């Protein structure tokens, strides 16, 4: 059968078969003409259940769906010198040529900054048609710039001896780079595949086992990751007891383990994977505004990428504070303040053992723990049912209360995908208030690589697909602009796998995040209010109910916290949108008022 197939289809079948053999479970396809050979091969593979195929008509949504699938999938195990090493399972995305490729760029940037392995299989015109004005032809080679770990342009197959073997060798190198097996720096890769007509098989394909699509004598190169080496000691100066641990996005459980072993306060973002425990400081962004408490800090150990807080960045950039960054990957390390003294791949094991705790106990941890408890009490009071008696649509701190209600119903087996702007910051303040046991906290995922709002619905959909295989439930908490920006992510064709996903949309009719920044001063003035509303507030007046109905998605409008909790506790069937309308006008005043109350409560503990 293979000999009678066009070279484009033979090559495409080999690519798909090799993806399957190398552990790729999911492929997202955005339909097109030039990518037809890959589409036929993927349909064949999906029919044989070698992989799960997801088809989306919008390449931007396809890219973020793949991102969510990769982030939610169970890892692959590789071995380094006999030691098992977990790596994120890559997900492939297939597009046709032209603007289709460019539409992947937002998801590629997010994957680049968060280290998610996406394999971008971008179909292209053969070289003889490039630069001739041929339809849907542009310069796709290097289109993603430095955002990919590896990029290669593969000439159109013409049936020559050895070309499939060469193609698979190239694909193997791309997968190694995507998984970071050589440098521990995973991320997206681009394999630009030129195809020449004919692009379709002359008859329906007869499915073959993946290995039978390889050329005779083909041998895949085995790449062994570097074995983990001994860890490093942080560069400590002064009294090592006066140390904070900052756990940014993707920090992982090591951040919390080190903090608790050494008796250091922990400032953990929701998507850090390190939240909870006795050393976690609630509402730390406001707590950091108390100079009398912060002035004693001499050393900060940073895990992950701090993305939420200007006060944290000010602390990391403060003269006299020694900053140690733990950056396990081979890529760039987070140091926006450009003040890091040491960048280490990992800490020595002794730092995770309480037996090695050093430094005198002068009450440093106790002061921060008391500050965290005081801050938590303030936030809890502001978001209590009594404080919201008038209903969410006209209550102070309503958006914060929505985040708390969502967090309160989540258990350890749940996954929450949270949108950028205010939702993730609101969650940062309330996560843990209603979880007395540290082990009760859910997993929180967020696109914090560039902290953009694009693609969040599609990312949540991908996560929901992936974790459902593990028997877990997914919810998303997003703002109205984030929801509208990726509303196309709700679109699912009738032949696509269904998914259960609950999306809570905090609708304040615009961009309230800007009110909490410097631009909020403009909104508060009589002369600048109109300008703020048009270019920052951006009210839209969209009706989400009819919009959801158009996509065949259930929609429910809730008006109070009790109704919200009731809706959240019901089983999720398919994709459901719960809309909560909250006021936006006083967001700046509310934010400042809460910060002032937290600061006063913290000072009272000193």
What are the residue boundaries of the structural domains of the chain, listed by start? 2-213, 243-369, 383-603
> Is 327 a residue whose pLDDT tops 90?
no
Packing angle, helices 7-21 and 36-47, rounded to 10? 50
For the segment 222-237, the average pLDDT, to the nearest whole number, is 59
Contact in structure between 377 and 597 (CB atoms under 8 Å) = no
Strand partners, 246: 267, 302
- Name which of 93-102, 113-122, 394-403, 458-467 the model is least confident about: 394-403
Q: How far apart are CA 593 and CA 239, in angstroms?
A: 35
- Name which of 141-145, 231-235, 311-315, 491-495 the model is least confident about: 231-235
Please indicate whether residue 515 or residue 494 has the higher confidence score (pLDDT): 494
Contact in structure between 5 and 201 (CB atoms under 8 Å) = yes
User: In terms of Cα–Cα distance, which of 156, 27, 180 is closest to 97?
Assistant: 156
Which tokens is 59 given? 């390449």
445-500 per-position pLDDT tens digit: 999 988 889 999 999 999 999 999 999 999 999 999 999 999 999 999 999 999 99
Tokens 């193609």: give the residue.
167
At residue 165, the pLDDT reads 84
Rounded to a whole number, what is the distance in angstroms from the first to the last CA of the chain? 79
Packing angle, helices 7-21 and 163-179, rounded to 10? 40
| Torsion from C-alpha of 325, 322, 272, 328, nearest 10 degrees | 10
Supply the CATH classification number for the domain 383-603: 3.40.50.970
At residue 392, the pLDDT reads 76
| Torsion from C-alpha of 487, 489, 493, 498, nearest 10 degrees | -120
416-448 per-position pLDDT tens digit: 999 999 999 999 999 989 886 656 788 999 999
Alpha-carbon distances of 318 from 112, 195, 311, rounded to whole Å = 29, 55, 10
Beta-carbon count within 10 A of 592 CB: 12
Please indicate whether residue 324 or residue 395 has the higher confidence score (pLDDT): 324
Q: How far apart are CA 70 and CA 107, in angstroms?
A: 12
Q: Which CATH number fits domain 2-213: 3.40.50.970, 2.60.40.10, 3.40.50.170, 3.40.50.1970?
A: 3.40.50.970
In this structure, the chain runs to a length of: 606
Beta-carbon count within 10 A of 289 CB: 16
DSSP 238-302: S-TTSEEEEE-BT--HHHHHHHHHHT--EEE-GGGS---STTB-TTHHHHTT-HHHHTT--EEEE
Which tokens is 209 given? 């086992």
Residue 148, φ and ψ in degrees, nearest 5: -115, 150
> Is 110 a residue whose pLDDT tops 60?
yes
Residue 193, φ and ψ in degrees, nearest 5: -110, 110
Query: What 3-state DSSP class applies to 266?
Result: strand
At residue 2, the pLDDT reads 43
> Is 241 a residue whose pLDDT tops 90?
no
Task: Work out the percent of the chain whose per-residue pLDDT is above 70.
Answer: 88
> Is 348 a residue whose pLDDT tops 80?
no
User: In terms of Cα–Cα distance, which of 575, 508, 505, 577 is closest to 536?
Assistant: 508
Domains 243-369 and 383-603 share a fold: yes
The pLDDT-based confidence of 226 (bands split at 50, 70, 90) is low
At residue 238, the pLDDT reads 45
Contact in structure between 23 and 119 (CB atoms under 8 Å) = no
346-351 long-range Cβ contacts below 8 angstroms, 24+ apart: 346/228, 346/231, 346/232, 346/254, 347/231, 347/232, 347/233, 347/234, 347/254, 347/258, 347/301, 348/230, 348/231, 348/232, 348/233, 349/231, 351/231, 351/233, 351/234, 351/258, 351/261, 351/262
* HEC readout, 58-73: CHHHHHHHHHHHHHHC
At residue 237, the pLDDT reads 42
568-594 per-position pLDDT tens digit: 998 889 999 999 999 887 788 888 899
Please indicate whether residue 453 or residue 348 has the higher confidence score (pLDDT): 453
Task: Work out the percent of the chain whose per-residue pLDDT is above 90.
Answer: 59
For the segment 199-209, the average pLDDT, to the nearest whole number, is 76
Alpha-carbon distances of 74 from 26, 187, 290, 365, rounded to whole Å = 12, 17, 42, 36
Where helices occur in 328-445 by DSSP H, the ranges are 364-382, 398-408, 422-430
> Is 559 a residue whose pLDDT tops 80?
yes
The pLDDT-based confidence of 512 (bands split at 50, 70, 90) is confident
Residue 194, φ and ψ in degrees, nearest 5: -80, 140
Query: What 3-state DSSP class applies to 126?
Result: coil
Packing angle, helices 587-603 and 364-382, rounded to 10? 140
The angle subtended at Cα 491 by Cα 178 and Cα 23, nearest 5°, is 25
- pTM (2 decimals)? 0.88
255-286 per-position pLDDT tens digit: 999 999 999 999 999 999 999 999 999 999 99
Please indicate whether residue 450 or residue 207 has the higher confidence score (pLDDT): 450
Tokens 């339909």: give the residue.
31
For the segment 184-208, the average pLDDT, to the nearest whole number, is 87
CATH superfamily of the domain spanning 243-369: TPP-binding domain (3.40.50.1220)
> Is 549 a residue whose pLDDT tops 60?
yes
Contact in structure between 410 and 474 (CB atoms under 8 Å) = no
Contact in structure between 80 and 474 (CB atoms under 8 Å) = no
């Amino acid at each position: 059968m293979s000999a009678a197939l066009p070279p484009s289809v033979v090559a495409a079948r080999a690519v798909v078969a090799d993806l399957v053999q190398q552990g790729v479970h999911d492929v997202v396809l955005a339909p097109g003409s030039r990518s037809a050979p890959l589409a036929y091969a993927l349909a064949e593979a999906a029919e044989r259940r070698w992989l799960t195929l997801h088809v989306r008509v919008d390449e931007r949504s396809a890219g973020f769906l793949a991102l969510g699938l990769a982030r939610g999938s169970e890892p692959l195990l590789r071995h380094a010198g006999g030691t098992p090493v977990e790596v994120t399972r890559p997900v492939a995305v297939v597009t046709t040529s032209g603007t289709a490729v460019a539409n992947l760029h937002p998801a590629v940037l997010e994957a680049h900054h968060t280290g998610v392995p996406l394999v971008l299989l971008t179909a292209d015109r053969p070289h003889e048609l490039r630069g001739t004005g041929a339809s849907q032809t542009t310069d796709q080679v290097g289109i993603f710039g430095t955002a990919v770990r590896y990029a290669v342009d593969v000439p159109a197959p013409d049936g020559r001896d050895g070309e499939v073997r060469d193609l698979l060798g190239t694909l193997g190198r791309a997968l190694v780079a995507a998984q970071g097996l050589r440098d521990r720096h995973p991320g997206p890769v681009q394999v630009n595949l030129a195809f020449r007509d004919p692009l379709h098989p002359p008859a329906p394909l007869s499915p073959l086992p993946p290995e039978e699509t390889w050329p005779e004598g083909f041998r895949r190169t085995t790449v062994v990751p570097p074995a983990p080496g001994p860890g490093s000691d942080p560069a400590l100066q002064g009294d090592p007891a006066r140390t904070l641990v900052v756990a940014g996005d993707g920090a992982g459980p090591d951040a919390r383990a080190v903090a608790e072993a050494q008796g250091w306060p922990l400032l953990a973002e929701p998507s850090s994977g390190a939240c909870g425990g006795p050393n976690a400081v609630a509402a730390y962004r406001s707590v950091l505004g108390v100079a009398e408490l912060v002035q004693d800090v001499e050393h900060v150990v940073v895990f992950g990428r701090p993305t939420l807080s200007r006060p944290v960045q000010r602390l990391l950039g403060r003269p006299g504070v020694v900053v140690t960054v733990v950056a396990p990957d081979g890529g760039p390390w987070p140091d926006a303040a450009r003040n890091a003294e040491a960048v280490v791949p990992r800490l020595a094991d002794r730092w995770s053992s309480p037996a090695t705790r050093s430094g005198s106990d002068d009450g440093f941890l106790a002061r921060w723990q008391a500050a965290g408890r005081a801050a938590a009490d303030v936030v809890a009071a502001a978001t209590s049912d009594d404080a919201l008696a008038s209903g969410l649509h006209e209550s102070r701190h309503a958006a914060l209360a929505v985040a708390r209600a969502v967090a309160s119903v989540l258990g350890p087996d749940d996954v929450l995908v949270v949108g950028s702007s205010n939702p993730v910051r609101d969650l940062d303040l309330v996560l843990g208030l209603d979880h007395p046991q540290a082990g009760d906290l859910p997993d929180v995922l967020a696109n914090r690589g560039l902290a953009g709002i694009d693609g969040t619905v599609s990312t949540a959909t991908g996560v929901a697909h992936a974790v459902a295989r593990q028997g877990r439930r997914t919810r998303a908490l997003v703002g109205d602009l984030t929801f509208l920006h990726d509303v196309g992510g709700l679109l699912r064709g009738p032949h696509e796998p269904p998914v259960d996903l609950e999306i809570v949309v905090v609708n304040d009719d615009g961009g309230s995040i800007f009110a909490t920044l410097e631009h909020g001063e403009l909104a508060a003035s009589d002369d600048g209010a109109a300008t703020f509303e048009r270019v920052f507030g951006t009210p839209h007046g969209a009706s989400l109910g009819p919009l959801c109905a158009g996509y065949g998605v259930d929609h429910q409008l809730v008006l109070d916290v009790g109704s919200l909790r009731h809706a959240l506790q019901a089983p999720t069937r398919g994709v459901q949108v719960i809309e909560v309308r909250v006021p936006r006008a006083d967001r700046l005043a509310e934010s400042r008022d809460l910060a002032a109350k937290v600061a006063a409560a913290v000072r009272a503990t000193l």
